Chain A
Amino acid sequence: MGDEETRVIFAGEAAKNFGILEGSEQQQVISRLVDIAENDAVPSSLVHERIGNLDIYTAGSQIRLYTKVVDEIPRGDSESHVIYLFYIDDDHEYEQRTLATYSPEAKEKVERITALDTVSDVESYVEEQDALDAENLRDLLR
């Protein structure tokens, strides 16, 4: 097992989605993120499916977490894995969610904003982004 730490960055949208989940669903989301963060395997190997360059995790039987996973940064001297959580889909049948095209432009934007190869000070970067580590996530379950 490497010494890398996994951090999760919640987009404002994902936080909004999180806020309207039922308590048990919130627990499922956080528990799943803790599982991923504490797993010996790199986060990208635990992805359920990929759409374009997006990485989708499942939580419980219904919930999908739309993310972009960046393993092992900075390159060559790996300290962290970063999971950008864009959106939480609770898949409630009564909720008709609007679909949008995931265009090449959107895909490119994701590549650009998650391109961390050049980040030299990972600690400062993840702090600026309000990233949560496994312990922070566990605290939310207490």
Chain B
Amino acid sequence: MSLTPSEDSMGDGSNGDDPSVPEGVLRGIEDIEEGDTASKDDLESLLNF
């Protein structure tokens, strides 16, 4: 048994250490699951340049 901490705190979680991500990542995953995606027209309407 090793008590050595993960080398990378944002690691892959395979050692039981779940990594952290910005909360918005989880919302984006939910969106894809629910089919909430943005089209080219949607993105065009958001352009600021």
Question: A interface vs B, CB < 8 Å?
Answer: 9-15, 17-19, 21-24, 26-27, 49-54, 66, 84-87, 89, 97-104, 106-107, 109-110, 113-114, 128-132, 136, 139-140
Contacts and interface: CB of A to CB of B under 8 A. Distances in A.
Contact of A50 (B12, B36, B42): B12
28 contacts: A10-B37, A11-B32, A11-B38, A12-B28, A14-B28, A15-B43, A19-B48, A22-B48, A51-B12, A52-B19, A53-B12, A66-B21, A66-B28, A86-B27, A86-B29, A86-B31, A86-B32, A87-B25, A89-B24, A100-B20, A102-B18, A104-B18, A109-B29, A113-B32, A128-B35, A132-B40, A136-B40, A140-B44
B13 A104 contact: yes
In the A-B complex, the 3 residue pairs with the smallest Cβ-Cβ separation, listed nearest first, are: A86-B28, A23-B49, A15-B38
A97 B12 contact: no
Interface of B: 10-13, 18-33, 35-40, 42-44, 46-49
A107 B20 CA distance: 12
B26 A9 contact: no
A54 to B, nearest CB: 7
A15 B46 contact: yes
Contact of A13 (B11, B19, B27): B27
Contacts of B22: 66, 87, 89, 97-100
B28 A140 contact: no
